Amino acid sequence: MSGHSQFALLRQRRFLPFFIVQALGAFNDNVYRQAIIGLLFYLGVSDEQRSLYTTLAPAIFILPYFLFSALAGQIADKLEKSRLIVITTTMEIVIMSLAAIGFITENLPFLLVALFCTGMQSTLFGPVKYSVLPSVLKPEELTGGNGLVEMGTSISILSGMIIGGSVFLLAGSHGPIVAATAVIALAICGNLAARMIPRVDAGDPDLKINWNPLPESLVVLRMARQQKAVRNAILGVSWFWFVGTVLTSQLPNYALVNLGGEPKLYLFALALFSVGTGVGSLLCEKLSARTVEIGLVPLGAFGMTAF
């Protein structure tokens, strides 16, 4: 155990293709979202409109999670997991092709519609993302594997935000074409990586899916309320993403208007936030001694709240 390194998982096919897919997905989502914000600067919209769009964009992206997560969970249970990942990454290619049209035509409402569709695709990918690891990793590898995934996600978010936010600064009048090409190319790379993921059997292939998301969501919430560990896990994850979303959605205007900085200051603040998330994710395995240690969660939640 003393010679174990969680990074050894990155050399194994049971983990590496999945790691690449989820990292590329997070990277592309944030290239896209920040390129929309970059387009706002490029078009020279007012501060009020820019503030509206930068707040609206993450809300539109997250809305499908709220509406369709229970349905996505059922689909993830019913279908073989590597097949479902290929399906979701194929959806991403189609959605990003629509987004490319929005960039080239400089049509902001069209881009927001495509962003909602991206949120739907991410909602479908979410449950299978979190259910693959327990199926392919040993119990003592799970914390390290989760840490790598969270580290990859946070670094992908950071680099995606930096690159997406820099497209229009660096490419100038070619920005819309560069953004359109980038999001399609990244989606295709993710789909190719998804096809290398080994087969992972469905959790419940005989499940009858309830296509009405509202009653299914209520069933899941009631079940979570009855199981304290599940309820607390949901609250912890929700608080983490709530804080992260609020911070990252307000940073562009806050750095520019309140701190009197340039876009570089906003990117530096994002870098601090994302690197901190990545380092904390990697430390989880060391601090928990390679076990699932729930005691780290209150400590992390207190630290987030205090800082």
| Residues with Cβ within 8 Å of residue 259, at least 6 apart in sequence | 265
* CB neighbour class for 3 (10 Å; exposed up to 12, middle 13-18, buried from 19): exposed
Domains of the chain: residue spans and CATH: 9-218 (1.20.1250.20)
Each residue's pLDDT, cut to its tens digit, for the chain (307 residues) gives 445 667 888 888 889 999 999 999 999 998 998 888 888 777 877 777 777 777 788 788 888 988 888 889 899 888 999 999 999 999 999 999 999 999 999 888 889 999 999 999 999 998 888 788 888 888 888 878 888 888 888 888 888 888 887 787 777 788 899 999 999 999 999 999 999 998 888 888 888 888 887 888 888 888 888 887 778 778 878 887 788 777 777 777 777 777 776 666 777 777 787 788 778 777 776 676 666 666 677 777 788 788 8
| Residues with Cβ within 8 Å of residue 103, at least 6 apart in sequence | 35, 39, 111, 176, 177, 179, 180, 183
Is residue 153 within 8 A of residue 22, CB to CB? The reply is yes
Rounded to whole angstroms, the Cα distance separating 34 from 166 reads 8
Rounded to whole angstroms, the Cα distance separating 118 from 29 reads 8
pLDDT of residue 1: 43
Rounded to whole angstroms, the Cα distance separating 98 from 94 reads 7
pLDDT of residue 291: 64
